[in-house]
Structure 1
Amino acid sequence: MVNFFENVYIQTAAYYSVSVLAIIVFLTVFELVTKYNNWEEIKKGNIAVALATGGKIFGVANIFRFSILHNDSLLEMLGWGIFGFVLLLICYFMFEFLTPSFKVDQEIANDNRAVGFIAMVISISLSYIIGASIIAM
């Protein structure tokens, strides 16, 4: 049975499965903290929500990419992925805090594409910084 888990195809499937499940869970958390329904807004064609959500998906996946590259075990990878997600979530709240002249959630819900684009770029760029710090450990 030990040889079974050392198979590169099994390891890839395991990392893939855990990462996809984590992305689904993390998107659910993001859904809970935003004041709008991501998937309903995307269904209506709200580009700003699609940009912000796409940035979150990319950001979380990118953090898991770095985590997979750095760690030897599935559990370590998941731990660093969760930690990276928490940092990304904190960045989301900081973006809202640092823009007191408008409410980020409200602007994104109103299809303000400029705000949606900035939210996407923040998620993506900070995922690289978080990922680099995971590699540096």
Structure 2
Amino acid sequence: MINLSIKKVAGVALVVTTLISQAAGAGTLVLAGSTTIQKRVLEPASAAIEQATGTKLEIKGIGSGGGFKELLAGKVKASIASSPLSSLLKKNGLADDGTYQEHVIIEDIIVPIVHTSNSVSELSWE
């Protein structure tokens, strides 16, 4: 679980506010992607973002890959991801030609922990 301090939430709000000012102006900005970012970052900050910018956030929590696909299809102005851009590009068979830019706000670490009595001796991505 991501545990965010007020400073980090303020930083996220600043980045989203910058996106909003570039992408939408007043109105609604639709973002699609990571449900972790949706629930832990954007939803808690959405009222402050709307108050500061006049822009309402509509957040489609469909996973990082789904959000990136919506960005590729032009359905959203920005996607929210909990995985690196390089990974999303690779999964979609795209080269990094500079068309898309990631703005890393927070990095999280996921660490599987196994009890010694468990027969699992090794974990891999395969």
- Normalising by structure 1, we get a TM-score of 0.28
Higher relative contact order (CA 8 A, sep 6+): 1
Higher strand residue share: 2
Higher helix residue share: 1
